[in-house]
Amino acid sequence: MDICQHFGFCGGCTYLDMPCNEEIAMKEASLGEMFAPFLGGATVSVLPAPRQEGYRNKMELAFGDEGRDGKMALGMRKKRSFYEVATPLDCVLICDDFKKIIACVLEYFRETGEAVFHRKRHTGALRHLVLRRGEFTGEILLNLSHASCLEAPLAPLVQRLLALPLDGQIVGILHAINDGVADAVKNENIGILHGRDYYNEEICGLKFRVSAFSFFQTNSAGAEKLYSLVCEYAGQGRLAYDLYCGTGTIAQVLSPNFEKIIGIEIVADAITAAKENVRLNNIENCYFHAGDAIELLSSPPEMPDVAVVDPPRDGLHQKALTKLIELSPPKIVYVACKPASLARDLTALTEAGYVLEKLQGMDMFPRTVHVEAIALLRRN
């Protein structure tokens, strides 16, 4: 495999220059060291992802310069650089459809002479391009973020994009007007230029409607393996809690194994999507609520057989962790996109009487430093 020309300074890949088996071994060693106090000498294995290349179903790209006073670029910000951007036309992490779309958008705005938003002077219009794709449906959603001073018409760009020879299909083209100074894509002032504001994905035999700002696992094929493992750890029972449920993906995958599942998520839009997804899948035993996980843990309607937690990268908030320990469900399945957060929370959970029964690594992000960890804890 040829090494990407941007490898080493684009901020995307880290292990592109080593064989995949060596990458897995390195991640296993890292997890083994991190969780050694809880393993009693046991080792940790890492399941490889179904695909090592072209697996990313979401890319948030920035407009910038190829170099100092260089041509316009669209891609990943280079390490230790405020303005320079690496255009990922030979990136191994994204599909060919994304590469064609990036090239098309970049060519159009170079032709029109539109200016990139300057992060220090706060001038110019072009800010970000977010690409999302259903791995198993082929549906693609675009969101162009720009300041209100944009001069180039967008209708010609839409026509060029729709004429691209893609393996998938563009189902929605959005644009978001952002005149703020922060370097972030905001869920504000969204307009539809073509199609709709969501795409569909299918995982574990279920359908999911994913909006432009909904959380969804970045690796769809890897998510199937991850959720199958969560189902295995959770087992069967009467009631399961899905804390930090997002759009309700885990809850719906678990639904055949439990009489009832209660999910809670602080992002109201995600709960709206979760309720829509259960309607799409004709699931009647999942109940979703918008709110903080602490609320459910503080006033539980009934004791769950298992609590599944899939918190943000920083792990469980201290108050939520305390309330979870006070609730003391028989089993906890902890899904961690940042294993170090899980290792920290395990200290409190084991001191409270839980035993780490199983721990499995999952390589959801091949060629990068990131690795997922799934733990099964049982109340002693």
Task: Among 134, 169, 203, identify where a domain stops.
Answer: 203
Residues 365 and 227 both lie in one domain: yes
| Pair of tokens at residue 239 | 């009631």
**Single-letter amino acid code for the residue at 242:** D
pLDDT of residue 81: 65
CA distances from 103 to 60, 89, 107, 242, 357 (A): 15, 7, 6, 40, 49
Task: Among 155, 170, 203, identify where a domain stops.
Answer: 203
- Sheet containing 190-195: give its strands across: 85-86, 72-77, 58-65, 126-133, 139-146, 169-177, 190-195
Entry field: residues in the chain: 380
CA distances from 115 to 73, 184, 266 (A): 11, 18, 37
* CATH code of residue 255: 3.40.50.150
Residues 100 and 184 both lie in one domain: yes
| Pair of tokens at residue 172 | 């929605």
| 15 domain-assigned | no
Residues 186 and 79 both lie in one domain: yes
| 13 domain-assigned | no
| 302 domain-assigned | yes
| Pair of tokens at residue 26 | 């390195």
Residues 303 and 352 both lie in one domain: yes
d(CA 208, CA 224): 13
| 354 domain-assigned | yes
Residues 244 and 223 both lie in one domain: yes
Token pair 């292990």 in the structure block, residue? 15
Contact 44, 120 (CB under 8 A): no
* CATH code of residue 186: 2.40.50.1070
**Spans of the chain below 50 pLDDT:** 1
Residues 169 and 83 both lie in one domain: yes
Residues 196 and 329 both lie in one domain: no
| 211 domain-assigned | no
Task: Identify the three-state secondary structure at position 119.
Answer: coil
Task: Among 203, 230, 257, identify where a domain stops.
Answer: 203
pTM of this prediction exceeds 0.85 = yes
pLDDT of residue 214: 82
| 95 domain-assigned | yes
pLDDT of residue 183: 84
Return the DSSP state at 148. Answer: T
pLDDT of residue 197: 93
d(CA 111, CA 82): 24
pLDDT of residue 330: 97
Domain coverage including residue 145: 58-203
CA angle 109, 59, 147 (to 5 degrees): 40
Residues 162 and 236 both lie in one domain: no
Closest to 213 in 3D by CA, of 277, 134, 132: 132
pLDDT of residue 82: 61
Residues 364 and 224 both lie in one domain: yes
Q: Which of 4, 95, 231, 337 is catalytic?
A: 337
pLDDT of residue 268: 87
Domain count, the chain: 2
| 263 domain-assigned | yes
CB contact burial 237-248 (16+ within 10 A = b; e otherwise): bebbbbbbbbbb
Answer yes or no: 245 catalytic: no
Residues 193 and 223 both lie in one domain: no
| 2 domain-assigned | no
Residues 158 and 274 both lie in one domain: no
Residues 300 and 270 both lie in one domain: yes
H/E segment holding residue 207: strand 206-211
d(CA 250, CA 44): 23
